[in-house]
C-alpha cells in the first residue's frame, strides 16, 4: 500500500520540474514586435527628415501672372521717359542697375517698363539713384545696333514696385569691403613693403609727381621692373615724412626732380 502511494506521488510531481527547465516559448505578440535597438529611433528620424527634405516638389496650377516672373533690386539709372503708343496707352520706361551681391562694382543693367497705374505712380515718384525692388514678368525685344545687327535686350514689365531701406542698401554695397577685408589687408602689406624698398634705393625709381599729365599715372615707377607707387590719403605718416626728408636732400644737391641721390641716411618709420 505504501509502495503504491509513493509511485503515484512520483508520477504526479515529476513533470513539474521538467517544465521549469524548458525555455519559455515566445508569444506571437512579442515575436512580431521586438524591443527597440540602440540607435534605431535616431536612424529612423534621420531617414524621415531626409525624405521630407528631398521630397518631390509640389505641383501648382499654371497661372499667367507667374510665367517668367522675376524680381530685382537695384538703382534707377536714368529719368523716366514716356513710351510712345498708337492707342494712347500711358507707359514709362527706365533702366535699372542691378548690383552683384558682395561686389558693388559689378552687376548688369535691365530695362524697366511700366503701364497704366504703375506707370503713373512711377512717373510721379521714381527718380534716378532711387534704390528699389521691382517684380514682374521678364520679356525681351529686338533692337538694331549701330552696326545694323539685331540684338536681343531684356526688360521687366513691372507689376510691383517698392523702395528699399537705405540701411539695407548700405549693407548690400558694403558687403564687398567686408568679404574682401583679408585680401585688402594683404594688398596693403605688400604696398607698404614696396614703400620700404623704395626708400632703401630711391635712385632706382622715377619721380613723376611734378610731371604727371594723368591722375592715374603712378607717382613713382621703378626703372627696371615697372613697379608703381601712388600717394594716398590713408598712407602712414612715416611715408610723408620720409618723402619730405628725401626732397630736402635732393634740393640741397640741386638734382632734377626725377633723380634721387644714390646714398641717403638711414630712415626710421612708425606705424
Domain identity same for 167 and 186 = no
Residue 264's pLDDT is what? 38
Bigger pLDDT: 97 vs 263: 97
Domain identity same for 70 and 164 = yes
Last residue of a domain, one of 152, 173, 194: 173
- Residue 8 lies inside a defined structural domain of this protein: no
Last residue of a domain, one of 138, 173, 208: 173
Residue 169's pLDDT is what? 52
- Residue 233 lies inside a defined structural domain of this protein: yes
Residue 16's pLDDT is what? 46
How large is the average pLDDT for residues 236-252?
Answer: 83
Q: Is the pLDDT of residue 158 over 50?
A: yes
- Residue 36 lies inside a defined structural domain of this protein: no
Domain identity same for 133 and 159 = yes
Q: Is the pLDDT of residue 143 over 60?
A: yes
Bigger pLDDT: 47 vs 142: 142
- Residue 241 lies inside a defined structural domain of this protein: yes
Domain identity same for 201 and 231 = yes
**15 CB-near residues (< 8 Å, 6+ apart):** none
Cα gap 262→252, rounded to integer Å: 14
Domain identity same for 153 and 238 = no
Residue 180's pLDDT is what? 55
DSSP string, 59-124: P----GGGTTEEEEEEEE-S--EEPP-SS---EEEEEEEEEETTEEEEEEEEEEEEEHHHHHHHHH
Cα distance from N-terminal residue to C-terminal residue, the chain: 122
**Per-residue pLDDT tens digits for 185-205:** 777 778 888 888 888 888 888
Residue 7's pLDDT is what? 54
Domain identity same for 136 and 152 = yes
How large is the average pLDDT for residues 143-160?
Answer: 84
- Residue 105 lies inside a defined structural domain of this protein: yes
Domain identity same for 155 and 224 = no
Residue 80's pLDDT is what? 93
Between 141-150, 171-180, 210-219, the lowest mean confidence (pLDDT) is in 171-180
Domain that holds residue 137: 64-173
**Per-residue pLDDT tens digits for 224-238:** 888 889 888 778 888
Residue 270's pLDDT is what? 47
What pTM was computed for the model? 0.45
Q: Is the pLDDT of residue 155 over 90?
A: yes
Q: Is the pLDDT of residue 269 over 50?
A: no
Residue 268's pLDDT is what? 43
Domain identity same for 212 and 168 = no
Mean pLDDT over each residue of the chain, to the nearest integer: 74
151: which 3 cell numbers?
A: 540684338
- Residue 35 lies inside a defined structural domain of this protein: no
Q: Is the pLDDT of residue 121 over 90?
A: yes
Q: Is the pLDDT of residue 79 over 90?
A: yes
> Shortest CA distance to 97 belongs to which of 131, 146, 140?
131
Domain identity same for 77 and 111 = yes
Question: What is the tally of structural domains in the chain?
Answer: 2
Buried b (16+ CB within 10 A) or exposed e, 223-239: eeeeeebeeeeeeeebb
Last residue of a domain, one of 154, 173, 192: 173
Domain identity same for 165 and 245 = no
**81 CB-near residues (< 8 Å, 6+ apart):** 92, 93, 94
Residue 230's pLDDT is what? 87
CATH number at residue 97: 2.40.50.140
- Residue 148 lies inside a defined structural domain of this protein: yes
**13 CB-near residues (< 8 Å, 6+ apart):** none
Residue 101's pLDDT is what? 64
Q: Is the pLDDT of residue 260 over 60?
A: no
Domain identity same for 137 and 238 = no
Would you tell me how many other CB atoms lie within 10 Å of the CB of residue 269?
14
Amino acid at each position: 500500500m505504501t509502495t503504491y502511494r509513493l509511485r503515484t506521488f512520483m508520477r504526479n510531481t515529476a513533470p513539474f520540474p521538467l517544465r521549469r527547465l524548458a525555455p519559455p516559448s515566445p508569444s506571437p505578440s512579442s515575436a512580431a514586435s521586438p524591443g527597440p535597438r540602440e540607435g534605431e529611433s535616431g536612424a529612423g528620424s534621420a531617414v524621415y527628415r531626409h525624405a521630407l527634405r528631398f521630397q518631390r516638389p509640389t505641383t501648382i496650377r499654371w497661372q499667367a501672372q507667374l510665367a517668367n516672373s522675376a524680381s530685382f533690386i537695384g538703382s534707377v539709372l536714368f529719368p523716366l521717359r514716356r513710351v510712345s503708343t498708337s492707342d494712347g496707352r500711358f507707359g514709362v520706361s527706365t533702366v535699372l542697375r542691378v548690383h552683384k551681391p558682395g561686389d558693388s562694382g559689378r552687376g548688369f543693367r535691365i530695362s524697366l517698363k511700366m503701364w497704366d497705374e504703375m506707370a503713373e505712380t512711377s512717373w510721379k515718384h521714381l527718380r534716378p539713384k532711387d534704390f528699389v525692388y521691382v517684380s514682374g514678368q521678364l520679356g525681351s525685344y529686338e533692337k538694331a545696333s549701330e552696326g545694323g545687327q539685331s540684338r536681343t535686350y531684356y526688360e521687366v514689365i513691372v507689376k510691383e514696385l517698392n523702395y528699399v531701406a537705405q540701411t539695407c542698401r548700405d549693407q548690400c554695397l558694403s558687403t564687398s569691403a567686408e568679404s574682401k577685408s583679408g585680401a585688402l589687408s594683404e594688398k596693403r602689406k605688400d604696398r607698404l613693403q614696396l614703400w620700404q624698398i623704395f626708400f632703401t634705393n630711391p635712385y632706382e625709381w622715377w619721380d613723376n609727381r611734378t610731371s604727371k599729365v594723368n591722375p592715374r599715372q603712378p607717382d613713382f615707377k621703378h626703372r627696371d621692373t615697372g613697379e608703381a607707387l601712388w600717394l594716398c590719403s590713408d598712407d602712414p605718416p612715416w611715408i610723408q615724412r620720409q618723402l619730405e626728408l628725401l626732397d630736402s636732400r635732393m634740393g640741397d644737391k640741386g638734382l632734377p626732380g626725377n633723380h634721387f641721390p644714390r646714398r641717403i641716411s638711414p630712415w626710421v618709420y612708425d606705424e
